[in-house]
Amino acid sequence: MPDLPLHVLVLEDHAFQRSVAVNMLRTLGCREVFEASDGDQALAMLQTVGTVDVALCDLQMEGMDGLEFLQRVGATGQVKSVIISSSLSADLRRAVHQMVALLGLELLGDVGKPLHIQMLADLLDKFANRPAMPQPPDAAITLADEGAVRQALAEQQLQAWYQPKFNLHSGEVCGVEVLCRWLHPTQGVISPALFMPVLERCGLLDELLFLQLEQALTVQRRARERGFPLNVAFNLQAVQLASGELASTLRSLLARHRTCGASVTFELTESGLLEAPATSLESLVRLRMMGCRLSIDDFGAGFSSLQRLCQLPFNEIKLDADFIRNLEHEPRCRAAISSTLALGETLGMSVVIEGIETDAQRRELLALGCTLGQGYWYARPMPADDLLNWLQQRSDQQSSDE
């Protein structure tokens, strides 16, 4: 009999099923197995025996149920990990999975009912042999100094980086998303998380956008001269739509770089657009009148309003990467992707899938009918010269393969 140095709590109100679970765990060699018929009894037992490694938890029971028990131990840290064992429907159990994650508990798995000993053994083995979790740093993230950020902006240390967008069928590069990196003279590349909130707080987002437009349109022209037409996409905050300078400045930049509005896309997150005022709508319409594309970014991550989607003049949807991360394990994510593709087709909007990290994801997305995507499986963000060299190398490779 294997020896698993684990302390396990079984929370189950049905006496026979609780007995089966306890015997299975002892057969599997768990060092100590405790049992409780409801949440109150389980909490009292934890006060006596201390922290347990695993709680095998039913959800529906008289007295304190499994949901309230999980809420309680999520706050106390008395349970290291959870295995759900419930006859509730799959959609309800999936919601509980999200709840467990939000409570900061580790979900080992969902064994349903009736229990199967091999499934239980695999999950216990997963816990016993998991790598040690890295400890989070004690210090919170410290935002960059406002003066240093202003200086970086003035000295153009804030540089546009580029992540390619692909046609999933052909592998053809159809555009790039423009991102921002701080190339600090002594500290190297600084994450946007450390300086973007400072720019927003200081009202400098427009200044950054116009700097990025200048940089990216220069790169776009260089790429076009080498035979690589690229659409360049910029992230735009909803608050920036109130600026009267946005459309006029963009028109001047496009004229100076001898390019058209159709070669530029603006990506806006849906959360800031639910109550777009008239001035914002005017800016969106002016951008579309110039030929620019408008993309609603991170679609599905907030409380999407289909009414607003129909009212606002977008012609592209970027589906949030979370749907792709959970594609393999969550049937509803597959349904959400299919529905978004159908919605895009009905509304005459293209759909871009974000966060593609594996070839398996790419193949499954192709099977669902996806056409456009981006993610680390294709390419990571890169500076301007690296992008141009990368495009040339891809072109040379394709020529040699023909």
| Residues noted as catalytic | 354
Q: Say which DSSP state 62 is in.
A: S
250 three-state secondary structure: helix
- Largest distance between two CA atoms of the chain: 78
Backbone angles phi and psi of 322, in degrees to 5:
-60, -30
Torsion of Cα atoms, 197 then 200 then 202 then 208, to 10°: 110
- d(CA 92, CA 206) in angstroms, rounded, equals 44
- Cα torsion 244, 261, 299, 143: sign: negative
Q: What is the DSSP string of 105-154?
A: -EEEEE--SS--HHHHHHHHHHHHTPPPPPPPPSSPPPPPPHHHHHHHHH
81 forms beta bridges with 54, 106
Segment holding 161, helix H or strand E: strand 158-167
Q: Say which DSSP state 276 is in.
A: -
Do 119 and 111 touch, CB atoms closer than 8 A?
Answer: yes
Q: Please write down the long-range contacts of 322-331, taking CB distance under 8 Å and 24 or more positions apart.
A: 322/355, 324/353, 324/354, 324/355, 324/356, 324/357, 324/361, 324/365, 324/375, 325/355, 327/361, 327/364, 327/365, 328/360, 328/361, 328/364, 330/94
**Would you say how long the chain is, in residues?**
402
Q: Please write down the long-range contacts of 186-191, taking CB distance under 8 Å and 24 or more positions apart.
A: 190/144
**230 CB contacts (<8 Å, ≥6 apart)?**
173, 174, 175, 176, 220, 223, 224, 263
Tokens found for residue 165: 């967008």
Beta-strand relationship, 293-299 and 158-167: unpaired
Beta-strand relationship, 350-353 and 106-110: unpaired
Using a 10 angstrom Cβ sphere, with 0-12 exposed, 13-18 middle and 19 or more buried, the burial of residue 74 is middle
374 three-state secondary structure: coil
